[in-house]
Amino acid sequence: MLRCLLGSRKRAAVVVAFWVLIAGLLAGVAPALESVEDNASANLPPAASDSMKARALVRAQLPGQDATPAIIVVRGEGTDAAASAGEAVTRITSALSESTRPDHVASVISTVTAPDAVAELVSQDRSAQLVIVPMTGSPSDESFQHAVDEVRALAADRAGPTEVAVTGPAGIATDTVKVFSGGDKVMLLATILLVLVILLAVYRSPLMALVPLLAVGVAMRVAETTGALLADAGIITVSSQTASIMTVLLFGVGTDYALIITARYREALLDETDRPRAMQTAVRRTTESVLAGALTIVLAMFALLVAVSPALHGFGPYLALGVAVMAPVAFTFVPALILLLGGSVFWPGGATKAAERSRGTGVWHRVAALVARAPVRVGMAVVALLVVMSAGLLGYHESFNTLGGFRAATESERGQHLIQEKFGPGEIAPGTVVVRSRDDLRSGTAPAAIAAALAGVDDVGRVGRHPRFGPDGTTVFYDVVLSLDPYSSKALDAIGPLKETARAAADAAGVTGTTVFIAGETAQTADIRSALDRDTTFIVFLVLAIVTAVLILLLRSLLAPLYLVATLLLSFLATLGATTFLTVTVLGDEGIGNRVTAYIFVFLVALGVDYNIFIMSRFKQELRTLPPDKAISAALTRTGGVVSSAGLILAATFAVLMTQPIRELFQFGFAMAFGILLDTFLIRPLLVPAIVRLLGDHALWPARPSRKTPPTPAVAPPAGGTTIPTGRLLRAFTRIAVIEACTWAGLLIGMYVKYIPKTTELGVRILGTLHGAAFIAYLLLTVLVAIRLKWRLGRTTLFALLAAIPPFMTVAFETWARRTGRLTEPTPAPHPSPSA
Identify whether the C-beta of residue 761 lies closer than 8 Å to the C-beta of residue 744: no
Residue 331 has pLDDT above 60, yes or no: yes
The fraction of the chain above a pLDDT of 90, given in percent, is 20
Q: Identify the residue with better confidence: 337 or 348.
A: 337
CA angle 371, 377, 383 (to 5 degrees): 100
CA angle 302, 303, 308 (to 5 degrees): 105
Residue 542 has pLDDT above 80, yes or no: yes
Average pLDDT score over residue span 830-835? 40
- Residue 760's Cβ-count burial label (10 Å; 0-12, 13-18, 19+) is exposed
Average pLDDT score over residue span 542-562? 87
Residue 103: CB partners within 8 Å, gap ≥ 6? Answer: 143, 147, 150
Q: Which helix (H) or strand (E) holds 482?
A: strand 475-482
Give the pLDDT score at 610. 80
Separation CA 179–CA 307 (nearest Å): 27
Q: Which helix (H) or strand (E) holds 56?
A: helix 50-61
Give the pLDDT score at 718. 44
Give the pLDDT score at 274. 81
Nearest CA among 312, 217, 233 for reference residue 29:
233
DSSP 497: H
Average pLDDT of the chain is 80
Q: Which helix (H) or strand (E) holds 277?
A: helix 275-303
Separation CA 740–CA 749 (nearest Å): 14
Partnered with residue 478 across adjacent β-strands are 433
Nearest CA among 706, 717, 814, 719 for reference residue 768:
814
Give the pLDDT score at 454. 92
565-618 pLDDT tens trace: 989 999 999 999 999 999 988 888 888 988 889 889 988 888 888 888 888 888
Separation CA 519–CA 535 (nearest Å): 22
252-271 pLDDT tens trace: 888 888 888 888 888 788 77
Q: Order of strands across the sheet with 68-75?
A: 128-135, 68-75, 163-167
Identify whether the C-beta of residue 547 lies closer than 8 Å to the C-beta of residue 584: no
Give first-to-last CA distance, the chain, whole Å: 56
User: What is the CB neighbour count within 10 angstroms for residue 308?
Assistant: 18
300-316 pLDDT tens trace: 888 888 888 888 888 78
Separation CA 603–CA 593 (nearest Å): 16
Q: Identify the residue with better confidence: 79 or 431.
A: 431
DSSP 790: T
Give the pLDDT score at 835. 36
90 band by pLDDT with thresholds 50, 70 and 90: very high
389 band by pLDDT with thresholds 50, 70 and 90: very high
Residue 244 identity: S
Question: Phi and psi for 438 in degrees, rounded to 5?
Answer: -85, -10
Identify whether the C-beta of residue 402 lies closer than 8 Å to the C-beta of residue 589: no
Whether the full predicted model's pTM is greater than 0.95, yes or no, is no
Average pLDDT score over residue span 804-821? 58
Residue 63 has pLDDT above 70, yes or no: yes
> For the chain, how many residues are written?
836
Average pLDDT score over residue span 45-57? 90
Identify whether the C-beta of residue 483 lies closer than 8 Å to the C-beta of residue 424: yes
Separation CA 92–CA 105 (nearest Å): 13
Residue 734: CB partners within 8 Å, gap ≥ 6? Answer: 558, 559, 698, 701
704-755 pLDDT tens trace: 766 544 444 444 444 444 344 455 555 555 555 555 555 565 555 555 555 5
In 3-state terms, what secondary structure has residue 432? Answer: strand
Separation CA 324–CA 219 (nearest Å): 9
Residue 731 identity: R
675 band by pLDDT with thresholds 50, 70 and 90: very high
Q: Identify the weakest region by mean pLDDT among 94-103, 404-413, 520-529, 590-599.
A: 404-413
In 3-state terms, what secondary structure has residue 313? Answer: helix
CA angle 69, 72, 76 (to 5 degrees): 160
Residue 126 identity: R
Residue 639: CB partners within 8 Å, gap ≥ 6? Answer: 614, 615, 618
139-158 pLDDT tens trace: 877 888 899 999 999 999 99
Question: Phi and psi for 758 in degrees, rounded to 5?
Answer: 55, 60
Separation CA 156–CA 482 (nearest Å): 30
Give the pLDDT score at 678. 92
